[in-house]
Amino acid sequence: MKKLSLIIFVSFWSLITLAQSNLISNTGARKSLSLNGKWEYIVDPYETGFYDYRYKELKENNPDAYWNTDVQVNKTEKKEHGYVEKYSLEVPGDWNHQEPQFLFYEGTVWYKKSFDLEKAFGEHKFFLYFGAVNYRADVYLNGKKLGMHKGGFTPFNFEVPESLLKEKGNFLVVKVDNKRYADEVPTLNTDWWNYGGITREVKLMEVPTDFIQDFVVQLKKDTSGKAPDKTPEVEGWVKLNRAPAKGELITIELPELKYKKVFAAEGQLTALHFKLPKLQLWSPETPKLYTVIIKTKNDQTKDKIGFRTIAAHGTQVLLNGKPIFMRGISIHGEIPQEVRRAYSAADAAQLLGQARELGCNMVRLAHYPHDETMTRLADSLGILVWSEIPVYWTIDFGNPEVLGKAKAQLEEMITRDHNRASVIIWSVGNETPISPVRTNFMHNLLTRARELDNTRMVSAALEVNYSALKDKNIVDDPLGEFVDLVAFNEYLGWYGGLPDKCRTTNWDTPYNKPLFVSETGGDAKGGFHADSLTRFSEEYQEWYFKEQVAMFKRMPAKFVGISPWILADFRSPKRNNPLYQDGWNRKGLYDDKGNKKKAFYIMKAWYEQIKKEQQH
Ligand code: GCB
């Protein structure tokens, strides 16, 4: 009885907190005006855009602010800024790769876009939607501030009052600031490039006045260890932008299954619970997606959704009730050939295509939520996904505001992707050094992730207690108690000794849970050949992976997969070996030109062998 009331309390609580966010999901299905393309810019390292000459101080609300005015009104006007075509940047796209002056830039850039709009006035609302802006975005339209957002890898939207929109010459300005701060997420120190700018798509969306803001249509969580029923149960909800009128109905349709069900709207949030007819479950071998249509009186949206169950059961991970071994790879959201952030369907096709060539059925999208094109493509290719927020290394764990920032990013990540069958793990962070404050912080995030979505596993890449026992390393991070999957970053033979150390080392965890190696790897400069004892040579990396694979074969039965570090070389200001790194982390199995290194073939061969043995 106690347990039941707890469950009711938890879901009631999550319904209330879900109602607070105004993020719209499934935006690809919405009528919208793309604002991608050229945006004019002003680089502003001194924050002059806020400078008020009258008071000699920085003030957001002053007549000269860069968001407020554009060109000279008449020839006598003194104007010391302006937006012109000569200074323009492509959106989406980080600024770093677009102009040499931006390579190392961390600071403010003002972006401006003019647009016209054929407006359908009346029964509509407008939202400005950003796929991601790194890190802080202050958004102004036609001289009014719409809002501010922090967090470089998650979407956000602001409602645009219709009275603010003009048919011609709308003046949209975004102040983008990618300076790093100790109390942000991530914090000052990361092992990746702090690409700045409007890095993902921008659009003006039009929705009916009463609209479907978000929804979850997923198979009900099943921890019984059994395969889903022939007619599997769906559990979810539909969230409207506001409380519905009396008697409002919500219809769910899956045309391919000839399925239709009508629900009475219960409030802003309506819980869904129903059984689907017999269907093809989603899996890496059969990544079947069904069109799901959701209708209210005034609105309609549709998505393509795969149906599967995923759960940690004892020490195994069960996909549709069957144990699965994850042949993974970690991936950064970066296209090394062009030294830029990934943002497009073509970029996703490159990255996931490379992962498939390696023989993967899983990817760890490190260390932040990647572009939505990645999880969408993973859905249709049948690739399992670990998705993570940038709670990385030494976040200011004792600061409740920082926890709030991490939670906001977690919620945005989950809201965007909670209908993606591919996503099986929400990760709340990476290698966070053990202390009571950090465990409390991370536990909080894990709890929040479960409240928001109880159908997936939750995890984090944990710290290891090296040589706790002779020749046995133990993953006993106290956070292990709260995760579904005990994952750890391993690196034996790169950060500790030489690869032959793997011969005498074993791994375990005291937790009776599945064990996953979320990272392991070593640097090799593509094309640099030497003997296998020479660091940074392809031969060293090849030897490293040979020893690793041999060690993995001795892993305990609870070992359920691995995502080596990393698919491709990536930019990092921390990697300053002038001969071999030169500002690149070289742990890629592909080099920065897309060539496969020798180690690639070691992993590929092992993955092929596993695939044969396990038939999936
Ligand atoms: C790690 C981090 C990853 C680094 C990697 C490395 O443990 O999680 O972000 O890039 O090691 O190369 O050292």
Residues 562 and 548 sit within 8 Å (Cβ to Cβ): no
Domain chopping of the chain, boundaries: 2-21+212-308, 35-208, 312-615
- Of ligand 1's atoms, which has the minimum distance to the CA of residue 431? 8
Ligand 1 close to Cβ of residue 239 (< 6 A): no
Mutate-to-test residue for ligand 1 from 519, 575, 587, highest number of ligand atoms within 8 A of CB = 519
Sign of CA dihedral 498, 499, 505, 509: positive
Q: What is the pLDDT of residues 433-492, one digit of tens each?
A: 999 999 999 999 999 999 999 999 999 999 887 766 777 899 999 999 999 999 999 999
Mutate-to-test residue for ligand 1 from 565, 570, 571, highest number of ligand atoms within 8 A of CB = 565
All residues at 6 or more sequence positions from 308 whose CB lies less than 8 Å from its CB, including other chains? 219, 228, 281, 282, 283, 319, 320, 421
- Of ligand 1's atoms, which has the minimum distance to the CA of residue 367? 9
Residue 386 CA, ligand 1 centroid: distance in Å: 16
For strands 486-489 and 457-462, give the pairing.
parallel
Q: Which helix (H) or strand (E) holds 461?
A: strand 457-462
Extract the tokens encoding 233. 């149960």
**CATH number given to 312-615:** 3.20.20.80
Ligand 1 close to Cβ of residue 489 (< 6 A): yes
Bridge partners of 89, per DSSP, are 39
How far does CA 394 lie from the centroid of its chain? 20
Residue 134 CA, ligand 1 centroid: distance in Å: 21
Ligand 1 close to Cβ of residue 585 (< 6 A): yes
All residues at 6 or more sequence positions from 1 whose CB lies less than 8 Å from its CB, including other chains? none
Q: What is the pLDDT of residues 580-608, one digit of tens each?
A: 999 999 999 999 999 999 999 999 999 99
Ligand 1 close to Cβ of residue 523 (< 6 A): no
Angle at 498 between CA 495 and CA 504, to 5 degrees: 105
Ligand 1 close to Cβ of residue 332 (< 6 A): no
- Of ligand 1's atoms, which has the minimum distance to the CA of residue 366? 9
The DSSP code for 229 is: P
Rounded Cα distance between 491 and 499, Å, is 9
User: Which residue lies with its CA nearest to atom 3 of ligand 1?
Assistant: 191
Ligand 1 close to Cβ of residue 587 (< 6 A): yes
Residue 367 CA, ligand 1 centroid: distance in Å: 10
What is the pLDDT at residue 106? 98
Rounded Cα distance between 238 and 207, Å, is 16
Q: How high is the mean pLDDT in each 10-residue block of the chain (616 residues)?
A: 40 50 96 97 94 79 80 80 95 98 97 88 87 97 95 98 93 97 98 98 96 98 93 97 96 98 97 98 98 97 98 98 98 98 98 98 98 98 98 97 98 98 98 97 98 98 80 92 98 94 94 98 98 98 98 97 98 98 98 98 98 78
Within 10 angstroms of residue 388's Cβ, the number of other Cβ atoms is 29
Domain 2-21+212-308, what fold? Immunoglobulin-like (2.60.40)
Residue 479 CA, ligand 1 centroid: distance in Å: 19
Residues 126 and 162 sit within 8 Å (Cβ to Cβ): yes
Ligand 1 close to Cβ of residue 432 (< 6 A): no
What is the pLDDT at residue 616? 52
What is the pLDDT at residue 432? 97
Ligand 1 close to Cβ of residue 191 (< 6 A): yes
Domain 35-208, what fold? Jelly Rolls (2.60.120)
Residues 386 and 375 sit within 8 Å (Cβ to Cβ): no
Residue 191 CA, ligand 1 centroid: distance in Å: 6
What are the contacts of 592-597 at 24+ separation with CB within 8 A? 592/336, 592/337, 592/339, 592/526, 592/568, 593/336, 593/337, 593/526, 594/336, 594/337, 594/354, 594/568, 595/526, 595/527, 597/524, 597/526, 597/538, 597/541, 597/542
H-only helix segments in 213-266: none
Ligand 1 close to Cβ of residue 565 (< 6 A): yes
Mutate-to-test residue for ligand 1 from 191, 489, 491, 523, highest number of ligand atoms within 8 A of CB = 191
Ligand 1 close to Cβ of residue 430 (< 6 A): yes
Rounded Cα distance between 390 and 367, Å, is 5
In which residue are the tokens 């000279």 written? 72
Ligand 1 close to Cβ of residue 303 (< 6 A): no
Rounded Cα distance between 459 and 464, Å, is 15
In which residue are the tokens 């469950």 written? 7
In which residue are the tokens 């949030």 written? 269
DSSP 166-187: -SS-EEEEEEEE----TTSSS-
- Of ligand 1's atoms, which has the minimum distance to the CA of residue 585? 12
What is the pLDDT at residue 52? 77
Mutate-to-test residue for ligand 1 from 329, 475, 489, 580, highest number of ligand atoms within 8 A of CB = 489
What is the pLDDT at residue 65? 87
User: Which residue lies with its CA nearest to atom 10 of ligand 1?
Assistant: 191
Rounded Cα distance between 295 and 252, Å, is 7
- Of ligand 1's atoms, which has the minimum distance to the CA of residue 495? 13
Ligand 1 close to Cβ of residue 431 (< 6 A): yes
The DSSP code for 277 is: P
Rounded Cα distance between 188 and 461, Å, is 19
Rounded Cα distance between 268 and 212, Å, is 10
What is the pLDDT at residue 7? 42
> What is this structure's pTM?
0.96
User: Which residue lies with its CA nearest to atom 9 of ligand 1?
Assistant: 191
Ligand 1 close to Cβ of residue 386 (< 6 A): no
User: Which residue lies with its CA nearest to atom 4 of ligand 1?
Assistant: 191
